[in-house]
Copies of this chain bind each other. A is one copy, B any other.
Amino acid sequence: MADSPALVAAQEQFRDELIAHGLLIPSGVPGLYGRSHIFEDVIERFDDLITASAKDDKAERIRFPPVINRAHFEHSQYLKSMPQLAGAVHSFAGTPAEHEKLLQLVHEGQDWTGCLKMTDVVLTPAACYPLYPMLAEQAALGPEGRLMDVYSYCFRHEPSPDPARMQIFRMREFVRVAPDPGQVRVWRDLWLERGLGILAAIGLDCSTAPANDQFFGRGGRMLAVNQRDQQLKFEAVYPMTSTERPTALLSFNYHQDHFGTLYGIKSREGAVVHTACVGFGMERVALALFKTHGFHTNAWPTSVRQSLWPSA
């Protein structure tokens, strides 16, 4: 469902206010912005707040760069379900004569796609994607499974005037992997509560709602209905620019054995593991803070400031 003209106008107004206050820097491409040091500080402090809230879990902290192995990505079925959002990386590997042709096309403002070849990498679609092939390569899991902490820039090709729908944005994720589906679901449900608490501590009162991914095409509608019926995906949503169409700040996904089966992640007993993830949309949380508490962080409510800058 496309956004209504009134909603688009509200999104554009918020975007323009963020730019006027110097928090986002326009790039000339919809959904691509530079960030001011104030915007970045809010993101970093919120990242710290998440870390502090999850400290006792002792998750394994790993960081992946914003591109991943293309072969792993092809294997992920992302191209089946959300091909329109993916970003493949192409490079030039031609002769000097082909280089001349490339430069000529660029000079004439023509499409130079034909001069490039696909590389072995694609942009990271979600922070947890590089994790599953890694887990499959490592030792089989014990009965308690593993708990992972990842964070990276993610790419989604969906140019939009909505500042909350960036083409490239950061996602902080925790991922639970275990042979016992019950353990994985319990962990996801624990985060449903904890996630709302973290957001409430910074003055963002969210509600949770069943949700579905933006599956592509006619077959995608079936997948979406199935995902909702089975309550596999929830989102913590916040009325950023609309109460009717609130924005997801945090999503909770129970994948069942989807990634376990795809990549062959198994327990020591040979059982396919179940997985779930919880992911914070970092830019969206920062935007919700500016929208709610104003464009000047030093005028934010004391309780919010104490949560984000505890040592100040």
Contacts and interface: CB of A to CB of B under 8 A. Distances in A.
Contacts of A37: 60-63
B113 A117 contact: yes
Interface string A141-161: 000000000000101010100
B91 A89 contact: no
* Identical subunits present: 2
A32 interface: yes
A90 B113 contact: yes
A262 interface: no
A84 B88 contact: no
Interface of A: 25-29, 32-37, 39-40, 60-72, 74, 79-80, 83-93, 96, 99, 102-103, 106, 111-113, 116-121, 123, 130, 133-134, 137, 153, 155, 157, 159, 167-169, 216-218
Contacts of A153: 65-66, 153
Q: Which 10 A-B pairs have the closest CB atoms?
A: A37-B61, A91-B157, A83-B92, A65-B168, A96-B217, A87-B89, A35-B63, A29-B120, A34-B64, A66-B66
B34 A96 contact: no
A87 B67 CA distance: 11
Contact of A69 (B32, B79, B112, B119): B32
B86 A88 contact: no
Given A32-B68, A112-B118, 12 more contacts: A27-B72, A27-B130, A28-B69, A29-B121, A34-B134, A65-B153, A79-B92, A83-B99, A87-B89, A90-B113, A113-B116, A121-B167
